[in-house]
Amino acid sequence: MSKGNEYLEEVIGLTRKAGAEVLKYYDKNYSIEAKKDDSPVTEADYASEDILISGLKDTEPGMVAEEAGRVPGETQESYWIVDPLDGTQDFIDKTGEFSVMVGLLVNGEPTLGVVFAPAREKLWYAVKGGGAYLLEGGTESRIEVAGKGNLEDYVLIASRNHFSPRDEAVADKLGVQDIIRMGSLGIKFCAIAEGRADLVYYTTDRLGIWDCCAPQVILEEAGGEAFDVKGRGLVYDLDRRRMAHGIVGIGGENRREVVKILDSNITGF
């Protein structure tokens, strides 16, 4: 049995519970603060994180949560990586594209991921080696990437709030014709895992390890790939807690071509 399986049912229940708590704030007045990096954090972020930390604190792994930081566990080999509200700005803007995410990191490798989009009532999950699945409307279905072979046929997902002119220039170089806007990195990765899109990239060093641990497992188990803008595997640094070299998620067969274009157009990494 994979390391993640023993926790899967519990984590799915916790993410649903945290997501339900988040929705309690959705149509109400709530406080919004600016963090050190100027990104927003709300009462809903904290309420969701409290539920997740409380539910996971007695398990063996340690924990790294976006707002609370690092919480030691019984072992240094495994850590829960918790994002209580991925897509906070989309939550504030009421786009419906935000999620609660819990991933399990074992010896630096993501092995379990659960992403729940409460406003969409969609939950994606995967355990390393076991495939990727979508729970929606009481139905569970296995999901797979589209696996396209031509970049011009790709659907590119652009961040609704963080797609820079540099990112737009890269999109032009890629020759992608179809670009859709979406919130929450977790939801973007899961859209690729479902085959509804094919590529997403972030050319910034501001993303945290909590942004991609859970959805990376789902994307990879659906047949996709996740790597940095240089084509290297993602590194989960529990001290720095940032993805220092950007993030790319792909569901097609053009990894080398995408990396070549990113590498020739992006500096600073």
Question: What would the mean pLDDT of 130-134 be, rounded to a whole number?
Answer: 97
Higher pLDDT residue, 192 or 64? 192
Rounded to 10°, the helix 185-194/213-221 angle is 0
- Inform me whether the pLDDT recorded for 153 exceeds 70: yes
- Inform me whether the pLDDT recorded for 269 exceeds 60: no
**Cβ atoms within 10 Å of 267's Cβ, excluding its own:** 8
Residues in the chain: 269
Question: What would the mean pLDDT of 70-87 be, rounded to a whole number?
Answer: 82
- pLDDT band at residue 1, thresholds of 50, 70 and 90? very low
**Cβ atoms within 10 Å of 129's Cβ, excluding its own:** 12
pLDDT at 209: 94
Name the DSSP letter for residue 60: S
**Intrachain domains 5-143 and 151-265 with the same fold:** no
Supply the CATH classification number for the domain 151-265: 3.40.190.80
pTM: 0.94
Task: Compute the distance between CA of residue 209 and CA of residue 232 in angstroms, rounded to an integer.
Answer: 15
Higher pLDDT residue, 28 or 161? 28
Task: Compute the distance between CA of residue 268 and CA of residue 261 in angstroms, rounded to an integer.
Answer: 15
- Segment among 75-84, 119-128, 212-221 with least mean pLDDT: 75-84
- Three-state SS at 145: coil
CATH pick for 5-143 out of 1.20.120.450, 3.30.540.10, 3.30.70.1450, 3.10.310.10: 3.30.540.10
pLDDT at 90: 95
Q: What is the pLDDT of residues 236-260, one digit of tens each?
A: 988 788 898 999 999 999 999 999 9
Q: What is the pLDDT of residues 83-125, one digit of tens each?
A: 999 999 999 999 999 999 999 999 999 999 999 999 999 999 9
What residue spans define the domains of the chain? 5-143, 151-265
- Inform me whether the pLDDT recorded for 263 exceeds 80: yes
* Cβ atoms of 212 and 141 closer than 8 Å: no
Which residue matches tokens 């011009």? 152
- pLDDT band at residue 268, thresholds of 50, 70 and 90? low
Q: What is the pLDDT of residues 167-208, one digit of tens each?
A: 888 999 999 989 999 999 999 999 999 999 999 999 988 899
Question: What would the mean pLDDT of 134-161 be, rounded to a whole number?
Answer: 95
